[in-house]
């Protein structure tokens, strides 16, 4: 079970967002699945109801989840599947594999020193430059 870092610079609600997103991308939750209730997530991650609600609301706004009054919150059908078990794919490759038309453009790019979270995820030292686009 994943635990959240209360000392992280990443807000707790954002960590909950990423926890739910990872559950979807890993295949643990698939389209039309009901996600755990707010109270279940509160218990699993030891966070407040407000934190869970803010995370779920964000994912609803992003179109990842859909809420049905009296029924619960579900993984939306239109989510792009991201098959993690088949090797790394770029987001573009994931879209193309599902025959979804798209275009890309770089809006901005820059070098920035990696914070602790990013450094840990990339297995580099904090402060080392990373390319952001």
Please report whether residue 109 resides in a domain.
no
Looking up tokens 């078990």, which residue turns up?
85
Instruction: With both helix axes pointing from N to C terminus, report the angle between 12-25 and 49-61 in degrees, rounded to the nearest 10.
Output: 50
Please report whether residue 115 resides in a domain.
no
Q: How many CA atoms lie within 13 A of 51 on its CB side?
A: 22
Q: 55 lies in which domain range?
A: 12-88
Report yes or no: 66 and 32 within 8 Å, Cβ to Cβ: no
Average pLDDT over residues 77-99: 62
The CATH number linked to 38 is 1.10.10.10
Instruction: Kindly report the pTM of this predicted structure.
Output: 0.58
Q: How many domains does the chain have?
A: 1
Please report whether residue 129 resides in a domain.
no
Q: What is the mean pLDDT of the chain?
A: 84
Higher pLDDT, 105 or 80: 105
* pLDDT digit string, tens, across residues 31-81: 889 999 999 999 999 999 999 999 999 999 988 999 999 999 999 876 555
């Amino acid at each position: 079970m994943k635990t959240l870092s209360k000392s992280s610079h990443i807000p707790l609600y954002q960590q909950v967002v990423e926890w739910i997103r990872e559950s979807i991308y890993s295949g643990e939750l698939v389209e039309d699945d009901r996600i755990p209730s707010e109270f279940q997530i509160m218990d699993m991650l030891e966070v407040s109801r407000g934190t869970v609600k803010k995370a779920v609301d964000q994912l609803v706004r992003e179109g990842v989840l859909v809420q049905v009054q009296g029924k619960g919150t579900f993984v939306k059908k239109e989510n792009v599947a991201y098959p993690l078990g088949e090797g790394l794919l770029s987001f573009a490759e994931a879209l193309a594999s599902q025959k979804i038309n798209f275009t890309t453009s770089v809006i901005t790019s820059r070098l920035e020193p990696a914070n602790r979270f990013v450094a840990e995820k990339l297995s580099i030292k904090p402060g080392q430059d990373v390319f952001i686009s």
